[in-house]
Structures are given as C-alpha cells and as structure tokens.
Amino acid sequence: MIDHRATDDTDPFETNRRYLGSVAYRLLGSFTDAEDVLQEAWLRWQAADRAAVDDPRAFLTTVVTRLCYDQLGSARARREAYYGEWLPEPSVSYASTPDSPAELAERGESVSLALLAVLEQLTPAERAAFVLHDVFAVGFEDIAASLDRTPDATRQLASRARRRVRDGGRHASADPAAHRRAVEAFADASTRGDILGLMEVLDPDVVWHSDGGGIVRAGVRPVLGSEKVARLVGGLVAKWFTPEHGLDLALVNGEPGLVWYDRPTGTVAGVLAFTVADGRITEAYVVVNPEKLGRITPIGS
C-alpha cells in the first residue's frame, strides 16, 4: 500500500483527507471500504492533470462519490447474503466537550448509526444524493456531475431519499441531554440486571437490532417489544457481564451510546447505539461483530 501520509500536507488531497474519508464512510457504512476508496482516489489524484482542476475539493468529492457509487451495488449483494442483520461499522469517541459545528460538518457526525442503517434501504443514487446534499451541503450541480444526472434529477433523488428516510426511521428526540439520560438509565438497569428498570426506559414498541456477522452469536432478526428486549438484555448480562467486563458511556456516531469491553485485554466486545424519543429508547443497534470493532478501544486505553 502506498504511504501517502508522507506527502506534502498542503496537497489538496491531504488537506481534504478527513472530509473525503467522512464522505466515503457515510456513503458505504464501512471504514474498511472507505479506506479502499481513499486509496484509489489518491492514485487517481496523482494521475490527474492538476492544471485543469479549478476546484480540487469538488474534483476529489466527485472521484470519491463515483468510486463509492460503484461499490454500493456489490456491497448490497454482499449484505443480502450476510448472516443476520447487517449494521454499519460504528464510529466511537470519548470527547468530553461537543465538537464545533464546523468539525461536525467536516465529519458528517450528524449521521447517526440508526440513520446509516436506514440509508441501506435507499438505492445507491438516492443515498449519494442524500448524503452529499443533506449531510455535507454539496450543491446539486456538483452532485449531478458525480452521478452523471441533471441537477433537477439529482434534486428529485435527494427529495425521494428524504421521504424514504423519514418513513423508514423512528421518531427521535433532538434533545442530547434526554438521550444521554435514557442511555445512562439503560446502562444502570442493565448492569444491575433490573428487568423492571429496563422496562421503564424502553419504549413499549422498542426494536433491538444486533449484528454478530455469524462470528459472534447474535439475533438473526430484530427483537420487538419492551418485555422481550428487557428479558433478552437481562439474559445477556447474566451470561456475559462479569467483573472483568466494563461498560463505558461514549459518543457513537456523535450520539450517546455504550461500549462494552473486556478489562484484562482491553478488547471491545460490543458497541450499542440508541434512538430515543420522549425519554425512552425506541431502537437499539448492537454491533458485536469483531470485524467491525477492531478500531475501537475502551476509554483511557
């Protein structure tokens, strides 16, 4: 693999690397696939006629978008053959203070794990139009160039995607403090094995999604309803949560979530993201597939 970290950091590709990686991740839902796209985009940038490029950021966005667009078709086929539910690879941080709006915009952190999961329902063109316009504020003319569509057609793609996202997702609270309180209550009730406490923080129609990838045991289909989810969590805690395991509050794709880990080895065993509405958890997304957790470390590691 080419080590392009050694290149001049004033080069437009290096200047925009974080942004380009964020675009690729939000389009693909996988850091591994996003890295492959960045590698290919860097090679194409090296071969490009720089003198003919008026706007390097727009040019590189187009390159990354087209590469992702090409991958999305084959990725969908792979995910249809995936064992159980396929969930996006989570992004985890332990920031003590919120990032600035500019930093959030650069990374597209407004795309929660729940929203990334909903984006799987879109066509590749709809997903590209939605992510580029609604998350990264790319203009429709630039998106049209990336997708070989007219600006009007691209605008319609984004509008259709927006409706499908709205119809396919659950109502969520916009209050980060309420979201955090619900996650903390869930963590407290879980670690104590308090089924009644779990029932109080779970919405009656809560949906529990899990992704073990056929490597770690996880539900093949979503679990529905607060009673079933509470008993599922209680059983998991009784079986797997020991003094050698820890549970940290973290930011999962920019929203309060949890990281479950093994203390002796410092290995992350699971990441939990939540959708919260009216103070209760309406959806939980649990990633335990170790292939999607290798980049994550417990707090303080």
Instruction: Encode pLDDT of 24-62 as tens digits.
Output: 999 999 999 999 999 999 999 999 999 999 999 999 999
| pLDDT at res. 8 | 57
**Measured CA angle at 276 (ends 272, 279), to 5 deg:** 125
* 7 or 222: which leads in pLDDT: 222
| pLDDT at res. 182 | 96
Among candidate residues 278, 252, 98, the one with its CA nearest the CA of residue 172: 278
| pLDDT at res. 2 | 44
Beta bridge partners of 284: 208, 274
Give residue 103's pLDDT band: very low, low, confident or very high (50, 70, 90): low
Give residue 167's pLDDT band: very low, low, confident or very high (50, 70, 90): confident
Between the CA of residue 87 and those of 98, 234, 239, 288, what are the distances in Å? 25, 22, 23, 10
For the chain, give the mean pLDDT. 89
* 214 or 8: which leads in pLDDT: 214
d(CA 203, CA 183): 13
d(CA 161, CA 123): 9
**Does residue 262 have a pLDDT over 80?**
yes
**Does residue 185 have a pLDDT over 70?**
yes
| pLDDT at res. 193 | 87
| pLDDT at res. 77 | 76
Among candidate residues 168, 165, 88, the one with its CA nearest the CA of residue 134: 165
Asked if residue 75 lies in contact with residue 67, where contact means CB atoms within 8 angstroms, the answer is no
Question: Around Cβ 268, how many Cβ atoms within 10 Å?
Answer: 26
| pLDDT at res. 22 | 95
**Measured CA angle at 134 (ends 271, 24), to 5 deg:** 55
Backbone angles phi, psi at 284, to 5 degrees: -125, 135
In percent, how much of the chain has pLDDT > 70? 90
| pLDDT at res. 4 | 46
| pLDDT at res. 107 | 55
| pLDDT at res. 108 | 52
Query: In this structure, which amino acid lies at residue 241?
Result: F
Among candidate residues 123, 124, 143, 141, the one with its CA nearest the CA of residue 132: 143
d(CA 28, CA 201): 32
**Does residue 201 have a pLDDT over 90?**
yes
Question: Around Cβ 192, how many Cβ atoms within 10 Å?
Answer: 12
- What is the chain's Cα-based Rg? 20
Mean pLDDT of the region 53-82: 90
Q: Is 250 exposed, middle or buried (0-12, 13-18, 19+ CB in 10 A)?
A: buried
Q: Are strands 245-252 and 223-224 parallel, antiparallel or unpaired?
A: unpaired
